[in-house]
Structure 1
Amino acid sequence: MNFAVTGAAGNLGSRVVTKLAALVDKKNIVALVHTPAKAQNLKEQGVTVRAGDYTDVDSMIAALREIDLVIYIPSKTYDVVQRVLELENTLTAMRKAGVKKIIFVSFFADQEKNPFTMSPYYGYAPRRLAGSEFEYTVVKNTLYADPLVPYLPELIERKQIIYPIGAEKLSFISLEDSAEALAKLVVQPDLRDQGQTYLLSQKENYSMDQLGSIMSDVTGKEIGYQPVTLEEFAEIYRGDGDGKELASMYQGGALGLLGEVTNDFETITGHAPLDMRLFLQENYNK
């Protein structure tokens, strides 16, 4: 079989390509990127790199020629309509290129009452796939643990976590663990292609008091928890360009919608995911 990974130059996609290259012949892997010139590291791994633009159906058709299974990693836009169009373009391209199978990489903020900006898209995609002719699998990630590492200096300075979720808990998974699960799912056809849905999470979820305690132990600095309001959070990170969107995500967290944990990672990989304490210990001051 030939496998294509979309968004292969991104944080998750590049890791998926690397993990998959350790499991299958590299000649069977195609890395789809928006700008091939920026994917030299992928070429050096011995995988084929093709240009694939979600907004251009013809580009995607050409990129998906002779592909059997697509690992679809969406773009990062917060424009719901644009995300839907990108998925539709990809499905059209798959149909015209003769691709039959897709692993759709999703996010667990997809509940009907979730106020997260992107929740409508994450709710739409699996229903769209269920009504299609494709053999599909949905893999939902919990929150990525990785952004917590560069966030630690700010938290140390603030001396507190400020996520506006109150007493609710959050669930996390690392990019490395997510990539490993996706790659191993590819080589286990008995676990995919039948509309299965998996949720990748660590074994435990964490209240912000618990997370602050772990961070304090790892950094040697006291980090407590003092939530700001949703409006304050959006304003604090408005300069980063996604303050409003992140606030909407944590609004879902305050409703208890971002704390689910499962054993799906272990089902797919055969071992437990890295827990939060070990993850921070391995990556802090790396």
Structure 2
Amino acid sequence: MDRRELAGFLRSRRERISPADVGLPVGTRRRTPGLRREEVAQLAFISTEYYTRLEQARGPHPSREVLAGLARALRLSDAERDHLHHLAGAAPGPPPGPSREVPGSILDLLRRLPQAAALVLSAVQEVIAWNDLAAALMEDFSALSRPDRNLVRRAFLREGWLYGLSDAEVFARGAVRRLRAAAARYPDDPEVTALVDELLAGSEDFARLWAAHDVRVAAPLRKTIHHPLVGPVTVNCDVLDITDRDQQVVIYTADPGSPSAEALRLLSVIGTQRMDVPG
């Protein structure tokens, strides 16, 4: 255990988080940047005295439970969580669960792609961020509950149209393979376990694909989405990995000058409003 380095690391991570980031009031009498020590202790479910001793390089060896609480309270990335464990003299275990915290730079990237539909998927294929054009092309994700934003659940448990995808079966197979790989990375996460159990009980097709134990996923290159207002939209599909969050940015673009590019331009104007429904 490197007490001095651990103390400096905890202090630096604490000072970079604003109270608003964790739902605490900002106030007007703060003398320190970021969170106070007692606020971190409260979020990590440990005593303020214990946390203070850690930051003063005189604390005892923290348990795995304490380290997990600190990682959660300080909103550490997977790489930072592993670093915390190494400083504390403990081998890092598997991540506690898929991250749903999207980096601010990625959110800014989505906003800067007005001619592309872009979204962010968690490790279990939940849509956790999107731009306006993605909502117009696929669905208004803000109007859905968290369970309904999971594309694996959508593919196997929600009857009906899967955004009119031309390769819906290929997508479904790939989604199962990604979920199986994620389940191996997060074996102790109750949400992942519950999702798999729900899918196994509710879909024979999912159960059959799950039993194949496939984890190899081919990179999608091109697909067609049949939109109810503008018709078929053929897009190129590029996937960027956010390695430290175990997330993916999916970007849909149309060939310049193509009818699909014109359809995306029209959707950027229409947005998520339903022009086929009387107002």
* TM-score when normalising by structure 2: 0.28
Larger Cα-atom Rg = 2
